[in-house]
Structure 1
Amino acid sequence: MLVQDRAFKRIVEYQFTAVAVLDSDFNVEHVNSSAELLLVRSAKQIVGHSFLDLFIDPTETKDVLHTAVKEGASVSVRSGTWVLTHKEPVTLDYIVSPFMENDKLSIILEMLPADRAMKISRDEGLLDQTETSRHLVRGLAHEIKNPLGGIRGAAQLLAAELPSAELKEYTQVIIEEADRLRALVDRLLGSNQLPNFAPMNIHQALERVHALLKAEAGGRVEFYRDYDPSIPDFVGDEAQLIQVFLNICRNAWQSLVESDQAEATITLKTRTVRQFTIRQQRHRIVARIDITDNGPGIEKDLLEKIFYPMISGRAEGTGLGLSLVQQLVQLHGGLVECESIPGQTQFSVYIPLEETNV
């Protein structure tokens, strides 16, 4: 019996799905590592205690457990919401399966976070659409760039033939506008430079960004840093990641200034996230960098398109900054997400801490 019990626990431990085993009183007998991550509690903190103690209001989950036990059959719940005592609400699919062995009732609870699955699907769609739009814009930019060179060259030849300086002013306007459009097209095409991967420290990059923005803001914005010093060095292009964080922070700063936000703040926060999926690849550990401001927020319709080229929420914006951010983070095997409500906008940059193979 002990051998079977150990074998069962080994099988449960290697399940991707979060699994908890409860007794007939709903006390926890065993949890695997995925369940520890989902519940943000270690096995030592959970085992031997009532599973229902994890909830602020366990009524709904308690009813599901009782139903499964009473009917002696599995009960499935899709997109259920658990409000746990120690973290934000989590949306998940779960199955409660009672079973009897040697006259002992046990309950297997299988849990799969639905909110993360929905986010992965949404992020996949966003990245694919962003990539498609980027290819379209780059193709269009190439088509514009070629005739611009001809227009500029013709204007220069015409200027050489004109007899008066007054007439040459018009050709100079053509040349300057052609140069301006060419610079815009170059920005649309983006950088063709591959990342220069080398060991780097994420906090060193963020401190550089903090120093630059603090000088630019001139005291109009208060900066806060909340760093996790345990994040190890990893392989990345420090210059490109500085550009990523600088673009996000500048957008936040400009939004705060334009909205004349009282007590404007920007917070830089770092944490690690375990077992995180990016583009169908599951990473053991990633760094999460949150950049949060207390500005007016981003309109919902715009929020879904802010990483597309030429999309901007500001009258003076070109819509290229966040497109470049997504592109550079993707080169590091990472992902950028944004959540916004009035009074808080948060950009989250996820970067795998394993060696990047691009």
Structure 2
Amino acid sequence: MQTIPETATLLNHQVTSVLVIDHRLTASYANAAAAQLFGLGSHRLRQAPLPEMCEQLGMSTIQLERAVKERQSLTVNTATLITLDGRQHAVDITLVPLELENAASQQPLSLLELRQVDQQRRIHQQLSQDAQQQAAQYLVRNLAHEIKNPLGGLRGAAQLLDRELADPQLKEFTTMIIEQADRLRNLVDRLLGPQKPTPHTLHSIHEVTEKVLQLLALTLPQNIRIQRDYDPSIPDIAMDADQLQQALLNIVQNAVQALAGQRGEIRLRSRTQHQVTIGNIRHKLVLELSVTDNGPGIPPELMDTLFYPMVTGRDAGSGLGLSIAHNIARLHGGRIDCTSTPGHTEFTLLLPVLQQPA
């Protein structure tokens, strides 16, 4: 007969955050999902009342205290939980009184469950975005190939003409044609971007981030400060380091451009998440690398098409950086999420650490 795991082990494998709280809203137990949701260790979560462990709990503290004291059940749908690091989560909250032996002689305890619903929204949004972007990329690829063929002929004709011309002033025009043809070819190549997975080898994600920051340091304005918040325990990941470096560089450069002309901060944060669904595959362990800036934010009308080719909110932008970054993440079995409000824009790169689906 197969042995059933202990209750704590079972709860730690739950995707739903589970806490046991008393009438003061202090937790005596928190599972792994709760620690991950609040961004705090289980021990830390038990040191103070729950409202002190976040900026916004998503429901009335008084109402929650009363429900625990009176051993009542409580349900709140789609509440906004804001953790101490400023991250917002949409959660369904359920409170159920714990029926314990000798409950009359003990302080009342309740089981508090917080189920993230923003992840389901992100999964749906990702699948929709992937389908739309793949259609857009298919169109762009066909268009790019149609452009490259006559462009090559145009450049070749200009080169032949250049050899026949003796007048230096006339050669200026053929040189201009060749230069502009090369510029268009480079643009088309960038539009096409990487299309197939390349060989992956094990690398530390922090090696990639540090290389990006080294490149950035050469041109980083003095008004912008870089903050690092790394988890050194993250294992190496199978990746194309050059591609991921390019993807991350595109995201960080976007943050730098968003802070143009103002004092600001860019924070790179690495963590791991358990039991995360990317596309239609659930992964046991996933790397979460976020790039956050305190700039003006992304216009709401751009959010749904942010990763499409040629979509940009800047007059001088090409609209290719985020599209390429999104495609590189897809080729690594990952995804990029974005949340943005004035003063807080966060791009989050999610990559499987363990390639086998859970």
TM-score, normalising length from structure 2? 0.77
How far has the Cα of 1:26 moved from its partner?
Answer: 9.1
Give the secondary structure class of the aligned counterpart of 2:194: coil
The one of 138, 153, 162 equivalent to 1:135 is 138
Q: Which amino acid aligns with 2:326?
A: Q
How far has the Cα of 1:269 moved from its partner?
Answer: 2.2
Partner of 2:314: 314
Q: Which amino acid aligns with 1:295?
A: G
Q: Give the distance between the partners of 2:85 and 2:168, measured in 1 at CA.
A: 75
How far has the Cα of 1:154 moved from its partner?
Answer: 3.3
Partner of 2:148: 145
Partner of 1:276: 276
Q: Does 2:115 align with 1:116?
A: no
Q: Does 2:81 align with 1:78?
A: no
Q: Does 2:251 align with 1:248?
A: yes
Q: Give the distance between the partners of 2:219 and 2:50, measured in 1 at CA.
A: 51
Identity %: 37
How far has the Cα of 1:183 moved from its partner?
Answer: 1.6
How far has the Cα of 1:181 moved from its partner?
Answer: 1.4
1:256-295 correspondence to structure 2 within 5 Å: 256-257=259-260, 260-261=261-262, 263-295=263-295
Residues 52 and 62, structure 1, Cα contact 8 Å, conserved in 2: no
Residues 158 and 178, structure 2, Cα contact 8 Å, conserved in 1: yes
How far has the Cα of 1:78 moved from its partner?
Answer: 2.4
Residues 18 and 114, structure 2, Cα contact 8 Å, conserved in 1: yes
Give the secondary structure class of the aligned counterpart of 2:173: helix
Partner of 1:178: 181
Q: Give the stretch that moved more between structures: 79-88 or 131-140.
A: 79-88
1:89-104 correspondence to structure 2 within 5 Å: 90-95=89-94
**1:245-294: CA deviations, max 9, x gaps?**
2222222223333xx11x34322222222222221322222222222233
* Count of residues paired in the alignment: 346
Q: Give the stretch that moved more between structures: 91-100 or 125-134.
A: 91-100
Give the secondary structure class of the aligned counterpart of 2:302: helix
Q: Give the distance between the partners of 1:224 and 1:186, measured in 2 at CA.
A: 34
Q: Which amino acid aligns with 2:202?
A: P
How far has the Cα of 1:223 moved from its partner?
Answer: 2.3
Q: Give the distance between the partners of 2:118 and 2:111, measured in 1 at CA.
A: 22
Give the secondary structure class of the aligned counterpart of 1:216: coil
- Tell me: CA distance 1:281–1:60, structure 2 relative to 1, closer, same or farther (3 Å): farther
How far has the Cα of 1:344 moved from its partner?
Answer: 3.4
Partner of 1:305: 305
**1:141-197: CA deviations, max 9, x gaps?**
111111212222333444555675544443443333222212211111113564331
Q: Does 2:342 align with 1:339?
A: no
How far has the Cα of 1:323 moved from its partner?
Answer: 0.9
Give the secondary structure class of the aligned counterpart of 1:296: coil
Q: Is the radius of gyration larger for structure 1 or structure 2?
A: 1
Stretches of structure 2 that go unaligned for 5 or more consecutive residues are none
Q: Give the distance between the partners of 1:272 and 1:338, measured in 2 at CA.
A: 17
Residues 214 and 223, structure 1, Cα contact 8 Å, conserved in 2: no
The Cα RMSD (Å) is 4.1
Q: Which amino acid aligns with 1:269?
A: R
Partner of 1:202: 205
